A and B are shown apart, each in its own frame.
Chain A
């Protein structure tokens, strides 16, 4: 009981530290705004992502179209929002999948040790040797192009680093005396994992996952940019940049504004991650 009480206290102080950091709070607000606009895209934007008006091709930003229009006369702002829906959704699902898989494998690896551990870690080594782009491309060959199925492959590419982190944290926690104590009291199996190990590794895992999420956003949009991601009539952040690049000379706004949104979004996620890391680390340091 006492350990869980001090854990909540630690959590609360970490939260306080996070919200005291102006950079993290600003990043959180920026990301929340972007997320909100993307989720409620149909409400925020008056235009659809595939609505074309030939008369408005390459329109400069104005009050009606705040980001202007692209080569097909589609509202760029609407495309950025709908694109964000796709990109953020795929990246989030991939991150959650990687987290679930990584926790399962990492905890098994950290607790069991021995041959199981060796096999899992070797498998992760092989997996991490394949560039994520290649992995996703192979998965797409298998599951069909541009259907968004590649989030499973994206999750797979993020898996090794999550497993490695969780395994390291688990073996660190396992050597602590409170685990020894609870084992001596007869706590074992899933109860040990959920009650005693998981709560203690969760903060650092969460910090790591924020970084994974940022990486997944980049990966997803790179797929779109390269032309093996979401299929064209749909919107996707990388795809928007690719479509706009052909007219960079005449209509730079169709590329630069979406690019700025993508960069700000990933930057805010990374800054939130940094803030969380500082908050969690600071707690460990003050505890001795």
Chain B
């Protein structure tokens, strides 16, 4: 198992390189891209290695040099007018994005998981119907529509919270609520499905027949087994929440990575688009690998299969 984990962690390197290759490649062949004709800049002036050959440097040279700069010097180059280091901006903005996304994930989990459990343990009951309705509603209302409603009610009509400006007190409340809405519905759906599937199993019936209290059946035995599919979906949930964060950043003017990306797109700054896209992709790759490892720790069956079958997951037909 340790071997598998190490293998998975080492796998980060080629996957990250491949992801950057893809993003770099797409932006490189874009008509009018600055990545293929400009001289290559570091944050403090012309790139020393490539400035000598920069006019003739081809795609591959540029890609390798870009990766080298990013990984060994944490340097994403400079913006088009060479006034700011993109790396500084990227790190500063990721802090806001992570703060927003992390808080939203926390709020969604705290509200969504108990709601999902309550819904699964009383199927067809009043609680189940209300919770399912809320989940459907939250996943149906577009986040920007939800944000409009919140801003109108709490910022304009009641004046309780600011509709923009995260530096102010309470500035993060509305963005977090906006992002959490879709996160909650996601959690409810996943948890409900996982718990109700576990409750259908024979061993739960056996435990109930043995006279175990319902609370112990659900809290200890059902939940532990339902945890596996819930963790497995955590990566997807986090990706969704990150996507929602981008929209909320744009709406509430949070200076996060999504806001930076969208601004870069409207100004057509390829270096910044590349830095935002690459850093997001890398972040998600690492996140997925972490959830994989957590899954492995939570699921003894998966662990057994991996140690026995070398991680092969083929279905074996035909």
Contacts and interface: CB of A to CB of B under 8 A. Distances in A.
Interface of A: 110-114, 117-118, 121, 125-126, 128-134, 137-139, 141-142, 144, 171, 174-175, 214, 218, 221-222, 225-228, 238, 241-242, 245, 248-249, 252, 255-256, 259, 262-263, 266-267, 269-271, 274
B142 A137 contact: no
B139 interface: yes
Interface stretch (B84-92, B211-219, B220-228, B241-249): B241-249
A214 B26 contact: no
A23 B43 CA distance: 59
A222 to B, nearest CB: 6
A171 B262 contact: no
Nearest to B239: A131
B316 A227 contact: no
Contacts of B39: none
Contacts of B209: none
B137 A267 contact: yes
Q: Is the interface of B mostly helix, strand, loop or mixed?
A: helix
B261 interface: yes
B280 A134 contact: yes
Contacts of A110: 315, 317
B120 to A, nearest CB: 15
B27 interface: yes
Interface centre among A137, A141, A174, by most B CB within 10 Å? A141
28 contacts: A110-B315, A113-B314, A117-B315, A121-B313, A128-B236, A129-B285, A129-B288, A130-B281, A133-B246, A137-B273, A141-B33, A174-B315, A175-B317, A222-B143, A222-B247, A227-B262, A228-B262, A228-B265, A238-B144, A241-B145, A248-B148, A259-B142, A263-B141, A263-B145, A266-B140, A267-B136, A267-B141, A270-B139
A259 B149 contact: yes
A171 B136 contact: no
Nearest to B27: A141
A232 to B, nearest CB: 12
B153 to A, nearest CB: 11
B30 interface: yes
Contacts of A141: 26-27, 30, 33, 273
B250 interface: yes
Contacts of B145: 241, 259, 262-263
B15 interface: yes
Nearest to A116: B314
A222 B243 CA distance: 10
Interface in B126-166: 136-137, 139-145, 148-149, 151-152, 156
B284 interface: yes
B317 A111 contact: yes
Interface string B300-318: 0000000000000111111
Interface in B33-51: 33
A133 B243 contact: yes
A252 B156 CA distance: 11
Contacts of B280: 131, 134
A117 B314 contact: yes
B214 to A, nearest CB: 24
Contacts of B29: 142
Nearest to A144: B31
Nearest to A140: B265
Nearest to A263: B141
A99 B137 CA distance: 25
Given A171-B317, A222-B247, A263-B145, A248 B156 contact: yes
A285 to B, nearest CB: 11
Interface centre among B19, B144, B246, by most A CB within 10 Å? B144
Closest 8 CB pairs of A and B: A267-B140, A259-B145, A171-B315, A266-B140, A131-B243, A263-B141, A141-B30, A225-B144
A214 B141 CA distance: 10
B159 to A, nearest CB: 12
B27 A138 contact: yes
Nearest to A174: B317
A70 to B, nearest CB: 14
Interface string B266-290: 1000000100010011001100100
